[in-house]
Amino acid sequence: MKHSFLFGHLLVVRQFYKDWASDANFIQTFGYYISKHWAQFFPEERSCPPVVYVDVWPIATPMAFSLEAYVSNQIELGRSLPKSPMQGEFLRPISNGKDLNCMHGEEWRMWRSRLNPAFSKSNIRSWVPCVVEEVESFVAVLQGLAVENGGWGPVFQLEKVSGDLACDITGRIVVNEQFRSLSSRPAPFARLYRRQLEEMEITMNIFKLIWRATPLFKWHVARRRHTLFDELRPLIFASMDSTTEQPCTVAQSALKQDAVTTIKPQLLSCPVDADLIEQVCCQLMIFFFGGEDAVSIVIPWMVNRSAANSECLDKIRVEHDAVLGPDPSLGLDKIRESPHLLDSLPYSHAVIKETLRLNPATITIREGQPDFTLEIKGSDKRWPTDGFDLFDSSITIHRDEKNFSRPLEFLPERYLVSEGHELHPPKNTWRGFQLGPRQCIGQELATVLLKLVLISVVRTFDAELAWADWDTEQERKGMKSHPVCVDGDRMYTTGRATSHPKDGAPAHVRTRC
């Protein structure tokens, strides 16, 4: 790839923004962009290189994008590489970079084994009635947005409503508290948390980089983080006071091994305990972030993909009628009474997996090491990683014909056919929740949540993204809309670090007759 002595690969980065979209999410989509245009950037090659090295110094650490499953598997399934320091820096406003997602080595292992029980299938199952309660608030919001006469209701940003749902569900599991983000009076924690999210970005803007390096910025961010922890602390104590054995909150799981299940606020005059609670606060914050960050884009993609595929919607409805009975208004009640019915929805599960295949919500980043090199097919030399942040371009792997036949088609059936069928994906290629020891700890919760969304929405409402309504609304507010399409779709991934749907995924809903 053409390298400039002065600018490194920054000119290629500029080209990406020009060709894709000026507000496209670079780290999430650059690998896929290269895989589509490799012949232009690597004219001397006969196929797309499995790893693309990008020199973006001094804006960021040089990057290496893995575009092949067998390379990514060396990064995730082999040796446990540390997370990139960039992630710790990014998460500083909420967790000071001291959370499960940023840790590695022994420290990570210790916290992961403490926290795993709270996210186990059996524990998440026992939370289902509470999760259903939060999903009912989500349905109430949609009902308020669907007009009486059967027409489409007003346009709203689906990302925001989905993120609020994720935050409220996380609040239940983490400290058993109702945050009411979906109501007009959210709890103070929910409001503060949302404000703090605004401080988080990975930027290539030089002025912002300088401002973010100043002690004043760091002080401001730390002060707000402490305010957030001040809200969280009493909730942790209240959750510890709870006498019931099940379900177990994440806070209880985090503190159990320290035998401080009876910890009381007055004990906090002891600095060791205060330090421990501070560590737990940092850990709990990553669950609010991890859940909301992914769910707020996965729900819009799920709506976008299924709305474009009426056959898929019909199949979901048939499955829900068969398992939950013909009356859609009783679907959530059925699950509340019998959570195990969630295991009897294979097609709905496949829809979730297929959504995450075509549109993975997050990207894996690891720090390259001097003694960690990559084995590349057809090359007698191992490829270096030292000095690079390693990116697993899951979207490229998921859309590669070698791994998934008819890769650009939305085909949930591929997860339902048996091995040997043309559509059956090979082992270790689907990485919607990532593979290996660092795979998503919240995947059981996420799957329950997404199934409940399908149960409560698909038979009750029509839902779709509403770009024409959005443009009209913007014009009414005096703002000119500049429609941009990526791959022929107005919906694409933006965001200054993590993935966000374009314009917050404007959508509308109507009640089904």
Q: Which residues sit at the interface with ligand HEM, rule CB under 6 A?
A: 100-101, 112, 170, 286-287, 290-291, 294-295, 298, 356, 361-362, 364, 432-434, 438-442, 445-446
Distance (Å, whole) CA 55 – CA 4? 10
Residues 369/385, Cβ–Cβ less than 8 Å: yes
Closer of 291 and 504 to ligand HEM (Cβ): 291
Collapsing DSSP states into helix, strand and coil, what is residue 334?
helix
**247 preceded by a cis bond (ω within 30 of 0):** yes
All residues at 6 or more sequence positions from 266 whose CB lies less than 8 Å from its CB, including other chains:
none
Closer of 193 and 470 to ligand HEM (Cβ): 193
Cα three-residue angle 461-462-466, rounded to 5 degrees: 130
Closer of 66 and 101 to ligand HEM (Cβ): 101
Residue 233 phi/psi, 5-degree rounding, is: -55, -55
Distance (Å, whole) CA 101 – CA 439? 10
Closer of 324 and 356 to ligand HEM (Cβ): 356
Distance (Å, whole) CA 292 – CA 301? 14
Q: Both tokens of residue 203? A: 């930027």
- Is there a binding annotation on residue 440? yes
Distance (Å, whole) CA 314 – CA 459? 9
The least CB distance from residue 250 to ligand HEM, in Å, is: 8
Q: Both tokens of residue 407? A: 């890769």
The least CB distance from residue 269 to ligand HEM, in Å, is: 31
The β-bridge partners of 366 are 83, 390
Closer of 155 and 342 to ligand HEM (Cβ): 342
Helix-helix angle 310-324:346-358, to 10 degrees: 150
Burial class from Cβ neighbours inside 10 Å (0-12, 13-18, 19+) for residue 479 reads exposed
Burial class from Cβ neighbours inside 10 Å (0-12, 13-18, 19+) for residue 307 reads middle
Closer of 442 and 506 to ligand HEM (Cβ): 442
The least CB distance from residue 445 to ligand HEM, in Å, is: 5
The least CB distance from residue 327 to ligand HEM, in Å, is: 28
Residues 117/248, Cβ–Cβ less than 8 Å: yes
Q: What is the dihedral of CA 175, 180, 181, 183, to 10 degrees?
A: 180
Q: What is the dihedral of CA 118, 291, 201, 372, to 10 degrees?
A: 60
Comparing every residue's Cβ against ligand HEM, the nearest one is 442
End-to-end CA distance of the chain: 55
Q: Both tokens of residue 152? A: 């489409």
Closer of 263 and 284 to ligand HEM (Cβ): 284
Amino acid in position 380: D
Distance (Å, whole) CA 207 – CA 199? 15
Closer of 189 and 467 to ligand HEM (Cβ): 189
Collapsing DSSP states into helix, strand and coil, what is residue 245?
coil
Closer of 86 and 263 to ligand HEM (Cβ): 86
Distance (Å, whole) CA 60 – CA 90? 13
The least CB distance from residue 360 to ligand HEM, in Å, is: 7
Closer of 125 and 438 to ligand HEM (Cβ): 438
Distance (Å, whole) CA 117 – CA 123? 7
Closer of 290 and 504 to ligand HEM (Cβ): 290
Collapsing DSSP states into helix, strand and coil, what is residue 440?
coil
Residue ranges of the annotated binding site are 440
Residue ranges of the annotated binding site for heme are 440
